[in-house]
Amino acid sequence: MSLTRRDFARTSAITGAGVALAGSVGALATAPNALASYDTDSAEGAADARHGVGYGPLVPDPEGILALPAGFTYRIVTYSGKTKLESGEFTPSNHDGTATFDGPRGTTLLVNNHELKGPRANWKYPVPLTEGLVYDPAAAGGCTVVEIRPDGRVAEWVGIAGTSTNCAGGRTSWGTWLTCEENSDKAGVNGMTKDHGYVFEVDPVDRRANRGPRPLKFFGRYDHEAVVIDPRRGHAYLTEDAAGPNGLFYRWTPPEGFAYGPGKFRELADDAGVLQAPKCFDSGGKYVDDLSRATKTGTVYGVDWVDVPDRDARTTPVRKQFGEGEVTRARKLEGMWWGDGGAYIVSSYAREESPGRHDGQVWFYDPKRRTLTLKVLLGVNPDPSADGAFDGPDNITVSPYGGLVIAEDGEGVQHLFGATDSGRTYPIARNELNIGTEEEPEYSEFAGVTFSPDGRTLFASIQTPGILLAVTGPWKRQKR
């Protein structure tokens, strides 16, 4: 049933702030730039920690990799070009989206995306073409599965190969990983032998289930970023990172009677279910063309869903199949995470290609109310080279200790940072690996932020050159 503008306006008037603050994370900021970090090297940062927010100032790393608060340590799990797979080949580069799973015999399993675009010859460490696990032998990307054993030993193997630009993805409730191609090259373009722009399923436990990779075409063909599954209603939600015009946030409704589970997606036809894009409107019933229009946290938009005409984009990219006034767009729709009964959705930044400018938004989609609520809003960072403000959120996870943990993919200094329910922010880590020069330093983005199943370890990657890190320390429940 469609949620009409009139219904939404009436519901908003009745529920008021109760709608605006849906979800346990609450309103994470009250004004643009409200989520700028406190000075991580100041006494103020230590005072915040004493009052229960964060873990104090970051301590520079003598190894020049990861600055952490006092009492925290990190371990390198995989390192592209240094650690090796079971096959003897080097760990692929460009680590990105990641999720963790309980493995057999007390192990922890991670599926790690490798965001490698274009022909294999362009990359020193592509994902190896393991027999039976290859979709397109011309493509460099894919996923590896990392196993951490109780004694600390690590093993790594290929989960899927021959895919392109595996950026983010999403964990399913039945224990698999959905990896997303953020590239929609067709066969014959950039040396590809098959069409790209799809979602693939990877099973971290059952290696046999990954043989003969099949694209899940019913999710559509476009520059996919992330995906989450609503375990109660069965919908899948997907983000698209694209511009000219800006990308879209999608909902896929499974066919009637479909039951989720390992291997079940392979049984569906390419056109199974219904793929839709959002059309948002404010509490006054006014259509909203782009999510960058929102300038205050707590802003709530109602959402209707519009069918995608041609999900496989045979002649026209999906986002271009809609005319003016038909859908709501956003720039750089990136990471997503399911939690608190809904989907947290990141728009990394907005500039000239959007109606409004910002350096990051996090929205919460409530499927029950069919509303989007702006939870995080970062104003444009005036000096990205200075350590202090946060910008360019990308991968995101809901923390078992309250609030959110966000990976920065902005300009200049790069952090992992947390945000409490009431909007206090705090640094968790800073990338100190300079891949530029002393005169012009450059720091790669963080990616793949996720907690271990027991909540004791925070995993994240430095994308370039590709380092998967495990962070442990005195985690604690964050106060509001």
Judge whether 471 and 458 are in contact, CB under 8 Å: yes
| pLDDT of the residue at 422 | 66
Residues linked to residue 280 through DSSP beta bridges, in sequence order: 288, 303
pLDDT 10s digits, 257-277: 999 999 999 999 999 999 999
Strands (E), 70-204: 73-79, 95-102, 108-114, 141-148, 154-163, 166-171, 177-181, 199-202
Residue 276 host element (H or E)? strand 274-281
- In a domain, residue 401? The reply is yes
- In a domain, residue 331? The reply is yes
| pLDDT of the residue at 208 | 97
pLDDT 10s digits, 432-458: 999 999 999 999 999 999 999 999 999
| pLDDT of the residue at 37 | 34
408 has pLDDT over 50: yes
CATH code for the domain in which residue 76 is found: 2.120.10
| pLDDT of the residue at 53 | 83
- In a domain, residue 72? The reply is yes
pLDDT 10s digits, 74-110: 999 999 999 999 999 999 999 999 999 999 999 999 9
- In a domain, residue 152? The reply is no
| pLDDT of the residue at 385 | 82
Q: Which of 157, 167, 134 is nearest to 335 (CA)?
A: 167
pLDDT 10s digits, 165-212: 999 999 999 999 999 999 999 999 999 999 999 999 999 999 999 999
293 has pLDDT over 60: yes
pTM: 0.91
| pLDDT of the residue at 271 | 98
- For tokens 């392979």, the residue is 266
- In a domain, residue 246? The reply is yes
Judge whether 325 and 289 are in contact, CB under 8 Å: yes
Q: Which of 83, 81, 74, 80 is nearest to 155 (CA)?
A: 83
- In a domain, residue 118? The reply is no
pLDDT 10s digits, 387-403: 878 899 999 999 999 99
304 has pLDDT over 60: yes
- In a domain, residue 68? The reply is yes
CA distance 146 to 156: 4
pLDDT 10s digits, 42-54: 444 555 555 578 9
pLDDT 10s digits, 5-38: 444 444 444 333 322 222 333 333 323 333 333 3
Can you say whether residue 88 is alpha, beta or left, with left for phi > 0 and alpha for psi between -120 and 50 degrees? left
Residue span of the structural domain in which 377 resides? 5-80+167-472
- In a domain, residue 85? The reply is no
Judge whether 423 and 58 are in contact, CB under 8 Å: no
**Average pLDDT score over the chain:** 90
Provide the domain count of the chain: 1
Judge whether 39 and 49 are in contact, CB under 8 Å: no
